[in-house]
Amino acid sequence: MLFTLVLVSIVIPLVNCNCDEEFKIVCYFSSWTGIHPDAKNCTHIVYTFARIEDDNTLTGIEFSEEYRKENRHPLVFLGVWNNPLKDFKNSKDPQLKILVAIGGQDYAIRRANDMMSKDEYRQKFVISTTKLLRTHEFDGLDLNFEPSEALGPPSTSTPQLIEDKKRLSTLCKDLQEEYAEEAGRTGRARLLLTVTISGIKKELESRYDLAELAKCADWLNVQTYDYRGSRDKIAEHHSPLMPATHVEGRDKDLNQDTSIKYLISNGVEPSKILVGLPAFGKKFRLTSDLHDLGSPATFVGSVPYTELCRNMMSGWQRVFLDDRKVPIMIKGDEVIGYDDLQSMELKINYAKEQRLAGMFIYPVNFDDSSGQSCNQGKFPIVSLIKRLTSNYTVSCTPATTPPLTTTVAPKNRTKIITPRWKSSRIDHFIPGGGLIRDHRRLHNASYSVTSTHLTVYIYSIFLFLFLL
């Protein structure tokens, strides 16, 4: 009997192991712009942002200051609140999931800190979220306490942060318990719960209980952008895929590859991770005679993807950074670090190669909704992800193809050059060598482990049936 129980304990985890889910395409949607995302290409839409009231309940949408002053938003009247995507979902795609986010800017994060400071405040908030989500037919909640400079720079030189990482983990656990209990009591599908976290390694180390968040959240949205911004006094790319070859120390950690590998090395399953794809670049103005990346500069602001496309048609020079796997554009004393379809494809392939759960676009409103600014069709960013992940499911084993391949050719409007400040080096991914050899060894090892598990699984079933 004891041996039978041991066999069952071996078989059940193997039966329940299911990584074969669709690749998630999560579209962050800014409520005040009025531009609806293309639902057929998004698996989830996150509606930004709901408001935590002074009585610690969840209600309303956070609007930009301009909309508050003009008081002309069509969705709000005397505090009445609704989900404008509800009918959009029902008529376009019943499988689409719509979540609402809280946080996003300094004042919202300060309010969240207060709410999480006492047990009674937190419990009142937790219960109110269920009521709001069900009343307005949302499918879940995103805890987004990472301010994004796409919405404007922080109001202070030190952005507001959650003071104690245990507060966020406790809130996450309380929400998940509430949603599980409510689903069991009502028979409805459980509400989703996601957490958006920084992509900066030193912040991942100090500000989050990653193990606990990975347990209670359905997945983690990693902000693999905003590595650089208004706090920096140099011109740099804000969302590189790989580290720059010339940097040292912590600057070498400011890239997507370091962020994801740090999370995985600290026990976060790849199937719990979504990487962020920014639909905006960041502009810096050089303040010295030096015109290298890393030169003194002031931060000018974020630039939507549609404006980036127009820049490329108006005399800006495009330079692709071979080490970082992303482009910049230059005109006069201004430099913009951004993503185009070439670098986006590299990032999508990276997510597939690392077996991640999906990607999120922030914000989808900055994509070319009309198809006229970039001449790449409507919503080219979202469409690219959909095309490259169509009929693709998240695998438990590493991909067999080499990572970071691309087929999207850059628009031939500007000459692609190597920056004069770049030193020559061996490419990160030499065909037939380097990291590719490492990935082959990793794949072969993984294949052997998978084959062993399958053999144990089959023998266990036969032995289990024999003992019965």
| Residue found by looking up tokens 């020559």 in the block | 424
Q: Are 399 and 355 in contact (CB under 8 A)?
A: yes
Q: What is the pLDDT of residues 152-201, one digit of tens each?
A: 666 666 666 666 789 999 999 999 999 999 999 999 999 999 999 999 99
Reply yes or no on whether the pLDDT at 419 is more than 60: no
pTM of the model as a whole: 0.79
**Sign of the torsion formed by the C-alpha atoms of 13, 14, 15 and 21:** positive
Superfamily holding 2-467: Glycosidases (3.20.20.80)
Q: Cα 455–458–462 angle (5° rounding)?
A: 135
Residue with the two structure tokens 């990276």: 350
pLDDT digits (tens, 9 = 90+) for 322-364: 999 999 999 999 999 999 999 999 999 999 999 999 999 999 9
**DSSP string of 387-448, one letter each residue:** HHHTT-B--SS--SSPSS---PPPPTTS--B--TTPPP---SS-TTSTHHHHHHHHHHHHHH
Q: Higher-confidence residue: 368 or 78? A: 368
Q: Give the model's confidence band at 36: pLDDT under 50 very low, under 70 low, under 90 confident, else very high.
A: low
Quote the pLDDT of residue 440: 31
The two three-digit tokens of residue 29, written as one number: 């949607």
Q: Which residues contact 427 (CB under 8 A, 6 or more apart)?
A: 322
pLDDT value, residue 412 = 40
| C-alpha to C-alpha distance for 169 and 173, rounded to whole angstroms | 6
Please indicate whether residue 441 or residue 391 has the higher confidence score (pLDDT).
391
Q: Read off the pLDDT band of 432 (50, 70, 90).
A: very low
Least-confidence region, from 32-41, 212-221, 226-235, 343-352: 32-41
Query: Which residues lie closer than 8 Å to 443 by C-beta, 6 or more apart?
Result: 397, 398, 399, 400
Rounded to the nearest 10 degrees, the angle between the axes of helix 119-135 and helix 106-115 is 120
More confident of the two residues 249 and 357: 357
Contact call for residues 194 and 144 (beta carbons, < 8 A): no
Tokens 């609140």 found at: 81
- For residue 185, what are the contacts with CB-CB under 8 A and spacing of at least 6? none
